[in-house]
Amino acid sequence: MASPDFAARPQLSDDVARYVRRRIFDGAYPAGQYVRLDQLAEELGISVTPVREALFALRAEGLIAQQPRRGFVVLPVTGRDLADVANVQAHVGGELAARAALNITDDQLRELNEIQTELEQAYAGADEERTVRLNHEFHRGINVAADSPKLAQLMSQITRYAAESVFPSIEGWPAQSVRDHRRVLSALVKRDEELARAAMSEHLAAGAVPLIEHLIARGVVAEESRPVPCARRRG
């Protein structure tokens, strides 16, 4: 996996955390492996300070642990943890979508439709990095339209625990995501609070099972249990 160019980026610690998080979820950093501060800094061509900050952030997320005199070690990823994150996302994201349905402007709706069009093009072109970015922009646009800054900030913190970078490579997920996003957009256009809540909640919960299955198949998650997310599709 090629290392991205970190040298000239602002907020390096966030970028480094995102990079390490992605390597954990794609199996490049398996459970039990040590992440060496100096080695990673050299690999990315940056100083050790943002790397240290990133590793402390990942420790707070429960993805790695710090061991005295040995450094940072990758912890196991569990299906229960992934399902828990999806369930919390589904609840908070559903509430934000419901509020957005009541507050969203025509300009914000237009922008969301433009983002969705670009996202579908990125899916069609198998541009995974672009799909991750555009998907994030789509959800962020809805969260901003909700006009609930504290709740949106909480959602942003929860999303850090989600394996966003994995979803474009999960078989069948791009098509599922497109259908779900269109359903959310339809609810927002109708300014239907309950329909928007249900559409977003079900969308965010729906990703848990295929994500866990995908990570089990790649040896990232141990095949112990397969928790089912709380939100269910209707019909």
Query: Which pLDDT score, from 0 to 100, does residue 69 have?
Result: 83
Indicate whether 64 and 29 sit together in one domain.
yes
Q: Residues 69, 88: one domain?
A: no
Residue 48 lies in a domain: yes
pLDDT tens for each residue of 104-120: 999 999 999 999 999 99
Indicate which CATH number applies to the domain containing 167.
Answer: 1.20.120.530
Residue 28 and residue 93 share a domain: no
Number of other residues whose CB lies within 10 A of the CB of residue 60: 11
CATH number of the domain where residue 37 is located: 1.10.10.10
Residue 235 belongs to a domain: no
Q: Supply the pLDDT for residue 235.
A: 39
Residues 61 and 160 in one domain: no
pLDDT of residue 161: 79
CB-based contact 170:210 (threshold 8 Å): yes
Whether residue 64 is found in the same domain as residue 85: no
pLDDT of residue 8: 47
Residue matched to tokens 């992934």: 82
Q: Does some domain include residue 222?
A: no
What pTM was estimated for this model as a whole?
A: 0.81
Q: What is the pLDDT of residue 234?
A: 45
Q: Answer yes or no: is 231 within a domain.
A: no
Q: Which of 26, 69, 22 is nearest to 215 (CA)?
A: 26
Is residue 38 located within the same domain as residue 146?
Answer: no
Q: What is the pLDDT of residue 165?
A: 83
Domain-located, residue 119: yes
Which residue segment(s) compose the domain that 39 sits in?
12-74
Shared-domain flag, residues 93 and 135: yes
Q: Strands of 34-35's sheet, edge to edge?
A: 34-35, 71-74, 64-67
Residue 3 placed within a domain: no
pLDDT, tens digit, 9 for 90 and up, residues 38-72: 999 999 999 999 999 999 999 988 899 999 888 89
Q: Extract the residue ranges of the chain whose pLDDT is less than 70.
A: 1-10, 223-235
Q: In this structure, is residue 6 part of a structural domain?
A: no
Cα–Cα dist 98/112, whole Å: 16
What local confidence, expressed as pLDDT, does residue 233 receive?
46
Write down the residue that tokens 């929860």 correspond to: 158
What is the SS3 assignment for 34? strand
DSSP tag of 211: H
The DSSP result for 62-130, as a single string, is TSEEEETTTEEEEPPB-HHHHHHHHHHHHHHHHHHHHHHHHH--HHHHHHHHHHHHHHHHHHHTT-HHH
**Residue 115: C-alpha distances to residues 70, 79, 202, 218 (Å):** 45, 31, 21, 31
Could you tell me if residue 234 is inside a domain? no
Whether residues 101 and 28 fall in one domain? no
Structurally, how many domains does the chain consist of?
2
Based on the fold, state whether residues 139 and 203 are members of the same structural domain: yes
| 203 lies in the same domain as 156 | yes
Based on the fold, state whether residues 25 and 41 are members of the same structural domain: yes
pLDDT, one tens digit per residue, over 92-102 is: 999 999 999 99
Is there a single domain that holds both residue 61 and residue 93?
A: no
